[in-house]
Structure 1
Amino acid sequence: MALPLKLPKLPARLEGAERRNILLLIQLRWLAVGGQLTTILIARFALGVPLPLEPMLAALGILALLNLVLGEARRRGMVGNAQIFATLLVDVACLTVQLSVSGGVGNPFISLFLLQVVLAAVLLPPWAGAVLVVLTSALFAWLAVGKMPFALPEAYASHLSRPYVVASWFNYTLAATLLAMFVTRIVRNLGERNTRLAALRQRAVEEEHIVRMGLLASGAAHELGTPLSSIAVMLGDWRTEPVIAESPRLRDELDDMRSEVMRCKEILGRILLASGEVRGDAPRRTTLAAFLSGIVADWRERASIPVEWHNRIGEDVTIVGDQALAQTIANLLDNAVEAGARRIVVEASRSGEQVRLAVRDDGRGFAPAILKNLGRPYQSTKTRLGAGLGLFLATNVLRALGGGITARNLHRGGSEILLTWPGASLAIGEGE
């Protein structure tokens, strides 16, 4: 099977974790250079082993130069996966040169090949670890049959039988393969865990934002309730004034004002209900079809464009009307009007245990940035203060019900928003 060797482009800017990983790689290579130099000098001058110093020290010089270059590239933010993989190949090449002139597979330091395999599995995509497993296994076999002659002093001389060499090669290949597989899997699991943690942190931030908005809305609703009640009383008193009682035009205007004030009070009541402070009537027992059709009917009364309602729910169920969900649907219809829609279609259906509500319009549709960041606050093409909260609120309301929201642009123009939630989240039993 061919391995994909497509290398990613250089990152424009190294992230903090990447910079630390590269720094650790540089430090580890310095330790390796120091350790190898110490070992070579002790073996040559203390133990009397006739090591060829020129090629071995030249390999160490290459590693030291490589580290200097990698350190400068790290400071400039010019190190990517391709560069890290290339440095590991240089490490393998230098170790191979040193082993080939100092005993081949008889050199106990041949197991250092595993270090490059593990580093590739930790720092690079899975294909890099697989490549190094194959490469180092092949070099192990080559060192067993193609090494340069090397004579140890009589006190240290030994002979490795061919079965032992073959078994050593098999042992190395098996160990390298297992290490690459399990280290890669561990790294992937850690990455998935970090992704989940990041998503949970983002959700916690969004929910905290919702709580702050709810407290602000609840406080505003409390403060606005008193002046609206006063205005309603004053409007009722004005109706008995002779000037207004004798003028049909003024009476009609006064009635319109009172109806708008009552509508404001109803909206404030819904805000308080959504925040957990019930005022007036308790949550209403209804059916799913009646609940959704009622939302559309209420919005249609004050809308300036036609709204089509399609009920494809099938068998109806008894539910408790959720005012937060009702306000969410009304907000989505308002958003469609602000997007230039001249016609809106609302369709409700059920798919198994899931309730699906689609809102389609023929407006301008969503900008790509809005679709990419769907559900995040203040993502809007509108410039007014507070714009961009509609889809954010809808996302969190549906999330609280155990559902979700998706959006897309239609090929013929306009957009579609699909709300889904489990039917059981609102349903109640017959005996309840």
Structure 2
Amino acid sequence: MKVAAHPEDLANRQNLLLLIHLRWIAACGQVATILLVHFWLGVRLPLADMLAVVGFLVCVNLVSVWRSRRQKGISSSGLFLELLVDVAALTLQLYLSGGAANPFIFLFLLQLMLGLVLLQAWAVWALVVITSLCFIWLMFSHRDMIMPAGQGEVAFFRLHLQGMFLCFVLAAALLAIFVGRIQRNLRARDAGLAELRQRSAEEEHIVRIGLLASGAAHELGTPLSTQTVILDDWRRAPAFRDDPAMMEELGEMQEQLDRCKAIVSSILTASGEVRGEGAAHTRLSTFINDTVGEWIASRKPAHFSFAGLEGPDCPIVTDMALRQMAFNVLDNALEASPQLVRLRVRNSGQQLEIEVSDAGPGFSGQMLQALGLPYHSTKGRPGSGLGLFLVSNVVRQLGGHLDAYNRAEGGACVRMTLPLTALTFGPPASRDTERRFHGN
């Protein structure tokens, strides 16, 4: 199973890609600026040395591209080293072209702004110290620019102002573009972390529910077995055996007891107490038809509409969680609309859509907003509202999503969309779900 990347690692990887793009722009901009100043403005620059620094930046960027594709985790320290490389390259270029007198020295502020939104506090202050030391060093150690013959201080000052303007435009444009993208990456990271915390809380809640259900199932096992023995004795008693009507009622009671025992067994199985029914290989149509047939036999709905599997049939790996997931949604629809329940199952080749609709009053706006959260229900009973909560967790662990809406002609519709690969190669969360999932 492929494990999803941590939101912080994903944000760092995206930010590294942004730094790579920025470095490509910086390399192209440096080449253009060097050639422009040297050949058009006539300022003599050490072309070989400055182009060698650009070549160094290109090599570093190629290594960074390789890291972004091969390395699993990108840390904040890695981003700090990337920025240090850019600071070093900028310092070398300024050393070769006038030092602190070069108007492009203010590009150090661009590196600091990037560090401010990318790095931790210690790394930002380290970057402040390093760039300040580079600035001080460039004040005393640099190669002077050789101005064209015949140009005095006025021409130099005008050229300096033009360079400052270009530096400002370049820094402002890059900050507006890249800092905005970095902020979006950081917001996506924060949203991902919040979702992970929410999932952790929900999974802990499911574990507590599983423990309670397991304990209740154990407690129910003894009285159900006692009632089964009593019913068997009654069937053999002459007073009941010779009364067809009474025997029919006893048979109905036995059927309901068997159903209760099956529910208790499924709860124990889902809680990890019993493992007689693990994951099984079957075909999609067989699983759907068997599940629907079992639900119809146990619930006996007045009007149920199901036309069979739409789309191609295929082999799948299924477990108790998938069956119970379908039962929960169908039970909710039957309780909301005893007069009509519709089921549609469609295989698009890549996704499996299970759609259950009814003719009931539909969902309230509050219910639709709280879809998948525990204890949100219109039934008004203590402990209700867990069905869709557990269904949403199973669907999410399989890599799918759960949707619900009210139909224009009346009634509600719940749609479960699952990636077919999760069923073809076995539900990735089947073992965990088999230990946790249950519900009525």
Q: TM-score, normalised by structure 1?
A: 0.59
CA deviations 1:270-298 (Å, max 9, x no partner) are 12222233355665543211211222222
Higher relative contact order (CA 8 A, sep 6+): 2
AA aligned to 1:375 is: G
Which structure is higher in helix share? 2
Q: Distance in 1 between matches of 2:157 and 2:370?
A: 65
Q: Any conservation in 2 of the 1:408–1:415 contact (CA below 8 Å)?
A: yes
Instruction: Give the counterpart of 1:351 among 344, 348, 372.
Output: 348
Aligned-pair CA distance for 1:335: 1.2
CA deviations 1:158-190 (Å, max 9, x no partner) are 977323222222222222332333333332221
Aligned-pair CA distance for 1:395: 0.6
Q: Any conservation in 1 of the 2:214–2:268 contact (CA below 8 Å)?
A: yes
2:210 equivalent to 1:202: no
Q: Distance in 2 between matches of 1:235 and 1:274?
A: 28
Q: Which has the larger radius of gyration?
A: 1
Tell me what 2:377 maps to. Answer: 380
Matched residues, number: 284
Instruction: Give the counterpart of 1:421 among 408, 418, 421.
Output: 418
Instruction: Give the counterpart of 1:401 among 398, 407, 429.
Output: 398
AA aligned to 1:377 is: P
Instruction: Give the counterpart of 1:276 among 252, 258, 272.
Output: 272
Tell me what 1:221 maps to. Answer: 217
AA aligned to 2:251 is: D
AA aligned to 1:271 is: I
Instruction: Give the counterpart of 2:364 among 364, 367, 374.
Output: 367
Q: Percent identity?
A: 47
CA deviations 1:279-329 (Å, max 9, x no partner) are 556655432112112222222232343111122344322334422221221
Shift of the 188–225 alpha-carbon distance from structure 1 to 2, 3 Å rule, reads same
Specify the SS of the correspondent of 2:236: coil
Specify the SS of the correspondent of 1:255: helix
Q: Distance in 2 between matches of 1:281 and 1:192?
A: 40
Q: Distance in 2 between matches of 1:318 and 1:191?
A: 41
Tell me what 1:177 maps to. Answer: 173
RMSD: 3.1
AA aligned to 1:357 is: I
Aligned-pair CA distance for 1:393: 0.7
Tell me what 1:58 maps to. Answer: none
CA deviations 1:214-259 (Å, max 9, x no partner) are 1221222222122211211121112222322233332222222111
Tell me what 1:265 maps to. Answer: 261
Q: Distance in 2 between matches of 1:223 and 1:395?
A: 28
AA aligned to 1:326 is: R
Q: Distance in 1 between matches of 2:378 and 2:366?
A: 9
Q: Distance in 2 between matches of 1:371 and 1:333?
A: 18
1:7-406 aligned at under 5 Å gives the runs 161-278=157-274, 285-301=281-297, 302-340=299-337, 342-406=339-403
CA deviations 1:176-205 (Å, max 9, x no partner) are 332333333332221111111001111111
Q: Any conservation in 2 of the 1:365–1:415 contact (CA below 8 Å)?
A: yes
Q: Distance in 2 between matches of 1:393 and 1:304?
A: 23
Q: Distance in 2 between matches of 1:317 and 1:273?
A: 26
Q: Any conservation in 1 of the 2:308–2:344 contact (CA below 8 Å)?
A: yes
Q: TM-score, normalised by structure 2?
A: 0.58
Aligned-pair CA distance for 1:428: 6.4
Q: Any conservation in 2 of the 1:358–1:416 contact (CA below 8 Å)?
A: yes
Shift of the 363–118 alpha-carbon distance from structure 1 to 2, 3 Å rule, reads same
Specify the SS of the correspondent of 1:239: helix
Shift of the 229–341 alpha-carbon distance from structure 1 to 2, 3 Å rule, reads closer
Q: Distance in 1 between matches of 2:282 and 2:404?
A: 28
Q: Distance in 1 between matches of 2:244 and 2:276?
A: 33
Tell me what 1:4 maps to. Answer: none
Shift of the 255–306 alpha-carbon distance from structure 1 to 2, 3 Å rule, reads same
Which stretches of structure 1, 4 residues or longer, exceed 4 Å deviation after superposition?
279-285
AA aligned to 1:293 is: N
Q: Distance in 1 between matches of 2:314 and 2:260?
A: 31
Q: Any conservation in 1 of the 2:310–2:346 contact (CA below 8 Å)?
A: yes
Specify the SS of the correspondent of 1:408: strand
Q: Any conservation in 1 of the 2:371–2:389 contact (CA below 8 Å)?
A: yes
AA aligned to 1:298 is: E
Q: Any conservation in 1 of the 2:402–2:417 contact (CA below 8 Å)?
A: yes
Shift of the 317–188 alpha-carbon distance from structure 1 to 2, 3 Å rule, reads closer
Specify the SS of the correspondent of 2:424: coil
Specify the SS of the correspondent of 1:289: helix
CA deviations 1:64-110 (Å, max 9, x no partner) are xxxxxxxxxxxxxxxxxxxxxxxxxxxxxxxxxxxxxxxxxxxx9xx
Deviates more, 1:192-201 or 1:161-170: 161-170
AA aligned to 2:199 is: R
Unaligned runs of 5+ in 2: 1-102, 118-152, 427-440
Specify the SS of the correspondent of 1:418: strand
Shift of the 317–202 alpha-carbon distance from structure 1 to 2, 3 Å rule, reads same
Q: Distance in 2 between matches of 1:290 and 1:423?
A: 15
